[in-house]
Structure 1
Amino acid sequence: MLKLPRPSSLPREARDTLFLLAVIGVIVMPQVPNLPIWCSVLTGLILLWRARLALRGQPLPGRIVRITLLLAALGATALTFRTLLGRDAGVTLVVLLLAMKTLEMRARRDAFVIFFLGFFAMLTNFFYSQSLPTALAMLVALLGLLTALVNAHMPVGRPPLMLAARMAGRMALLGAPIMFALFVLFPRVAPLWGMPSDAMAGRSGLGGEMRVGSVTELALDDGIAARVKFADDRVPPQRDLYFRGPVLSRFDGREWRALPDYLASRVPANIQVQGAPIDYEVTLEPSHRPWLLTLDVTPARPEGPPDLQVRQTSELQWVSLQPVRELLRYSVRSYPQFRSGPIGFDPNLGIYTQLPPQADPRTREMAQQMRAEPGLAQDNAAFVRAALARLRTGGYSYTLEPGVYGQHTADEFWFDRKAGFCEHIASAFAVLMRSAGIPARIVTGYQGGDRNPMDGVWTLRHRDAHAWTEVWLAGQGWVRVDPTGAISPDRVGAFRRLSAPEGVFAGAVNAIDPGLMLNLRGAWEAVNNRWNQWVLNYTQGRQMDLMRKLGISAPSMQDLMVLLLSLVVLASLAGALWTLWERHRQDPWLRLLARARRQLQRAGLDTTDATTPREMAALVRQRFGDGDARAIALSDWLLQLEAQRYAPVSHGSLAMLRAQWRGLPSLA
């Protein structure tokens, strides 16, 4: 078994190298999920190789080895990304170059290059995530790099790393106010990069379309989609929390898609609201999709950042003109009591009764049979109630593992499998309605959510993604019908939330104390929400609001720059005053030594700033001899001064030496 030496027993160069390699590991570790596997493996092997060389005191590899590694890294990056440019390829190269630079760290200059390359590599973590855990990890990496940088400026002796760490911590604390001022006042600009991603298949969440029956097993994604803060705690019942997303009205037999605007706009929205509105604020996580989440119904434009451009479709969905690529916060006013769509029959509603030919023949036949029943021939509302009753009493179930459906998805649900999750149920119900001539469409979004007891914020997770239907009824317009609630009331409302089967680890954690874990989770999410609200969502609009609070009635970017430059000038003046004060309060031991040096220079002795007290004492005795009492007194005083500096416990205080100095006779 390999026995590692204690850090205190290592030479300083080896100890400092191992510390720097550990800091680089902290910087690179959060990037591992974003890097190609070969890059992570190669980086780890290089760092381990360099650590082994430091531990054994072996020479660094030659130029041929380093050039070969560099060419291999460039070639692998080009093959992986088909380019050496761009975010992903660039970050891969930065990580590799940082690791490979350690193989030629022979002088302080090389170490400084690694330090500043490490600072840059640390910033690249924020290209992929700006979450609170990432920020905390990079704070640790920052303090590690500052410690290594301070330690590199201590070339003499073997200063302990803890001493360098304390100095680095003080430097970070001194710089924190400046960083805070720059964060608050530096003009906010749009991000310089984008992160397109679309890998929602097979997991709960929203997509731009709904392909029924193609997913054999739905994995519930516990990630956060949005947070909602209701004003004055006026929260609707949980069963009524339907956050509207994409509306899907075109069906090809397997897949539901949104109607083109020119078709959907033929049926007017005709929104009529009544009752008291509900005001709330939504913090939407980046989805790289254009839609905004709002409760039904929201007739007025959501209020967000100044650059937010949105529109409402005739199907009551609010969409942004640009995909949501960063955290977005907006205020909304919704009306739980409303009516929308035509009240009387509109021929354009035929769009919502279309079905592909030959699709789901058994469902079409069932619709005709139900229409033949007493009371259902002309009464569409009664037909809807009868379909819901069939779902409640027909042995249907809600499951996350329905298996792959065949060509006729509605037929399989109604007659064969009788099981599925919300998309199967909503689709089969909409097909049945259309088969009976009732206009129907599918609405996707989020239903329910969880209230955080720590801060009262409602959290919508991807597992809360839901699909329901809207049917058009004469005299009522569009009416929400959630067929999933007929099968599984627990899925809708303030009952038990559906969850995926627990694994071994999750079961063990919950066995410890589910209540404690729930409270800890709530506390963490409350802190993370504050981070999102006050840091990630600090936009240009909030900067302007701050300027107004400072008394500027019509703030502009010019006012912001003037304020920022004023603070920079004040900080510079404060730094200059601090420097003057530090110079004034120079080390009193050095000031006392300088007095002695000046007296010896006036006496004709050749001394410099590098002359030590012991050397000064020898010069005095050599010039004036041992018979001169003045020389003996000054020589003894200089030896005591040196001893006080390097053995202060066993010698007198600096104040005593200062008093003795005033009593010494002059040599001049």
Structure 2
Amino acid sequence: MTLRQTLATLPRDTRDTLFLLVVIAWVMAPQVAHLPAWASLMAGPVLLWRGWLAWRGRPLPGRWAVAGLLVVAVVGTLFTHQTILGRDAGVTLIVMLLALKTLELRARRDAMVVFFLGFFTMLSNFFFSQSLPTAVAMLVALLGLLTALVNAHMPVGRPPLVHAFRLAGTMALLGAPIMAALFLLFPRMAPLWGMPSDTMAGRSGLSGVMKVGNIAELALDDSVALRVRFDTPGGAPPPQSDLYFRGPVFATFDGSEWHPLSYRAGNRALERPNSPAQLRVQGPALRYEVTLEPHKRPWLLVLDAARDKPGVAGMGTFMTDDLQWLTSRPITDVTRYQATSYPQFRHGPDTATPALRAYTELPAGFNPRTLALAQELRSDPRIAPNPARDPDLDATPALVNAALARLRTGGYRYTLEPGVYGQHTADEFWFDRKEGFCEHIASAFVVLMRAMEIPARIVTGYQGGERNAVDGYWTVRQSDAHAWAEVWMAGRGWVRVDPTSAVAPGRTGAFERLQSPRGALATAMGTVMSPGLVQNLRAMWEAVNNGWNQWVLNYTQSRQLNLLKALGFESPSWQDLVTALGALVGLAALCGAGWTLWERSQHDPWLRLLARARQRLAQSGLTLPDTLPPRAMAHRVQAQFGDAAQGVADWLLRLEQWRYAAQPENAAHQLGALRREFRTLSWPAATARR
């Protein structure tokens, strides 16, 4: 006997229980990545046990056994989260309650509780992810739960699950317009609107501390960091050499790690500066829109250099004195903002100040060979002329060019696998390994600059991007994470110097990227499908995912108000949103009432016409039971009223003949004729008696 035949022979209660358990397992599956290990190891066996009991027809466990498992679940939640309140603890507990409640499916009331917990658990998946795959998975879960709910309200017989599924799908489709209206017009008032995102366990795109080797690990990640749409004809970006998205800036070096200048012992947080950034822009502005993926840090990625505050809804933003834009709280959701940058800019003091000394400091006891190299370069008259002869001559540009020339001609190599560096990272790069990723190169370059008493610092962020031909957005990936240097020069301020371009010009110029290793699945797909097809499928998926981010996750109050403007509102507000929503709901109610009336007209018009005849005879004084057929009604009419109601009796006989005779093609026309004749019949008066 096949599995399908076996399932067909199962009792209805067993079939329905197994189906409900499968739906519950589907709802719980996405939570496994967020639940404690013990919760998943407990919930899974409980569902399997409940399925085995239903399959074998065994009795359910007693209340004491379920109570014992509940105590274990509560104690485990308290031990793991130190509380039963909050998002993580609450989700853990609700999942365990749903699993344990399946052991008490004895009555319809228990099933209703399971449905309620199932819908709540389904919604809790969005606490952790609002991505398109999650939404699709939860839509399937919604249809499954609705199917089980509809099936539970069919107590008679053995209705097929397909029938319940069709009805559940119809209900979902009928509710979709109302759902869409609520999504579009329900006022979004922060902080009440949106999903809680208090977790800090996610992986960030960049780090608040740069240790040699950190960005090299990020380069292996091909996930999306941000998407950009340029507000220029055709969405064309600036030249490749200007695509620098600015992130954390590091100026303090302890020999192994780089920290922001505001770093203090025991505190790695960025502090709001007291001095404003000395930014001077020139040339045309570049306007664009950024969709930033959550990175759990308070950084806004903008192109160098953004003078004006980016437009981020519901967040305060400010610029540090090193041109980094920060928000008032970490970016824990997909965030969209508009920004304006000026590729041609200058910032920082034009003349030397005491504050610049912090950018020349180096820890003692590190990189002695690099210090010796710096002394050699400074003392070389071919590179740095004697300042005693020309005190107005700034040797910084010549020294920077000498370091870049050494990188270009010294056999240095750009690689993803530089190996593990030791204590003297700059020495190993300049003299031993001569290979590294952008952070190795930038770190060694800045150490050399500081050793020559030249103020320098490291800037991290993203460089480059690729245009998606499907939707026109420029995609910047984690593999585009980059580190470059800034050097202070008299009369010019801070100047960007990318030493990586001296080692590998293709990294920032011709847009040649190092490829991350391909996994087994990608390798297998490459043997089946052409690389071009794989690339096109990837572009289509990313375009669809970007559309989800733009139109669903980033549907903010400002976009709601823009929708009202498009509908004719001059100065829309949230009160207008409520008005529009109320009008739309009222219109939907009227449409629903009209549809109900129309549906009633489709329910057996013959019976409704017979009921109207019975009602009209009751007004004439002849009350007939509802179960009486038209022929019997005609006999009662003749007996009651005689020849005065002969026309009514004949009409009733023709009505019965239409019902039970073979229906011709013009049956609807004949019924319409009987309906019209009904309105012209001469009904006997209530006083007429034989």
Deviations 1:86-143 (A, max 9, x none): 1111111211222222222122222222222211111001000111111111111111
Deviations 1:377-410 (A, max 9, x none): 3522121111112222323222333333222221
1:470 counterpart residue number: 486
- Which secondary structure does the structure 2 equivalent of 1:95 belong to? helix
Change (3 A) 1:21 1:299: same
**Residue type of the alignment partner of 1:304:** V
1:405 counterpart residue number: 421
**Larger CA deviation: 309-318 vs 598-607:** 598-607
Does residue 66 of structure 1 match 2:66?
yes
User: How far did residue 433 of structure 1 move?
Assistant: 0.2
- Which secondary structure does the structure 2 equivalent of 1:574 belong to? helix
2:156 counterpart residue number: 156
Any gaps of 5 or more consecutive residues in structure 1? 625-630
2:186 counterpart residue number: 186
Distance (Å, rounded) in 1 between the aligned partners of 2:151 and 2:609: 29
User: How far did residue 532 of structure 1 move?
Assistant: 0.7
Distance (Å, rounded) in 1 between the aligned partners of 2:222 and 2:454: 36
Deviations 1:472-512 (A, max 9, x none): 12233211111122222333233331122223222222233
Does residue 541 of structure 1 match 2:549?
no
Does residue 326 of structure 1 match 2:342?
no
Deviations 1:213-251 (A, max 9, x none): 579966611221110001222312223211111111111
**Residue type of the alignment partner of 2:249:** V
Conservation of the 8 A alpha-carbon contact between 1:217 and 1:401: no
2:546 counterpart residue number: 529
User: How far did residue 605 of structure 1 move?
Assistant: 10
TM-score (norm 1): 0.87
Change (3 A) 1:388 1:549: same
The structure 2 residue matched to 1:556, chosen from 573, 590, 597, is 573
Does residue 435 of structure 1 match 2:451?
yes
**Residue type of the alignment partner of 1:173:** L
User: How far did residue 455 of structure 1 move?
Assistant: 1.5
Change (3 A) 1:423 1:78: same
Deviations 1:331-386 (A, max 9, x none): 12212122222233333322211112222222111100111223323522121111
Deviations 1:312-345 (A, max 9, x none): 2221111122222222211122121222222333
Conservation of the 8 A alpha-carbon contact between 1:268 and 1:341: no
- Which secondary structure does the structure 1 equivalent of 2:148 belong to? helix
Equivalenced residues, count: 648
| Percentage of matched positions with identical amino acids | 58
- Which secondary structure does the structure 1 equivalent of 2:288 belong to? strand
Does residue 125 of structure 1 match 2:112?
no
2:403 counterpart residue number: 387
Deviations 1:260-287 (A, max 9, x none): 3999969874333332222111111122
**Larger CA deviation: 593-602 vs 319-328:** 593-602
- Which secondary structure does the structure 2 equivalent of 1:92 belong to? helix
Change (3 A) 1:63 1:308: closer
**Larger CA deviation: 339-348 vs 208-217:** 208-217
- Which secondary structure does the structure 1 equivalent of 2:299 belong to? coil
Deviations 1:288-310 (A, max 9, x none): 211211111222222332x3321
Distance (Å, rounded) in 2 between the aligned partners of 1:639 and 1:114: 52
- Which secondary structure does the structure 1 equivalent of 2:300 belong to? coil
**Residue type of the alignment partner of 1:121:** T
Distance (Å, rounded) in 2 between the aligned partners of 1:527 and 1:3: 38
Distance (Å, rounded) in 1 between the aligned partners of 2:382 and 2:485: 23
Deviations 1:508-531 (A, max 9, x none): 222331111111110111111111
Distance (Å, rounded) in 1 between the aligned partners of 2:77 and 2:274: 51
**Larger CA deviation: 354-363 vs 484-493:** 484-493
Matches within 5 A, 1:346-361: 346-361=353-368
**Residue type of the alignment partner of 2:349:** P
Change (3 A) 1:34 1:597: farther
The structure 2 residue matched to 1:297, chosen from 301, 305, 315, is 305
Distance (Å, rounded) in 1 between the aligned partners of 2:513 and 2:212: 23
Distance (Å, rounded) in 2 between the aligned partners of 1:10 and 1:122: 28
Conservation of the 8 A alpha-carbon contact between 1:213 and 1:254: no
- Which secondary structure does the structure 1 equivalent of 2:246 belong to? strand
RMSD: 3.8
Any gaps of 5 or more consecutive residues in structure 2? 264-269, 386-394, 640-648, 679-683, 685-689
Distance (Å, rounded) in 2 between the aligned partners of 1:416 and 1:45: 56
Distance (Å, rounded) in 2 between the aligned partners of 1:87 and 1:218: 29
Distance (Å, rounded) in 1 between the aligned partners of 2:215 and 2:278: 37
- Which secondary structure does the structure 2 equivalent of 1:58 belong to? coil
1:169 counterpart residue number: 169
Distance (Å, rounded) in 2 between the aligned partners of 1:565 and 1:67: 47
Change (3 A) 1:80 1:639: farther
1:196 counterpart residue number: 199
1:106 counterpart residue number: 106
**Larger CA deviation: 436-445 vs 253-262:** 253-262
- Which secondary structure does the structure 2 equivalent of 1:226 belong to? strand
Distance (Å, rounded) in 2 between the aligned partners of 1:344 and 1:658: 98
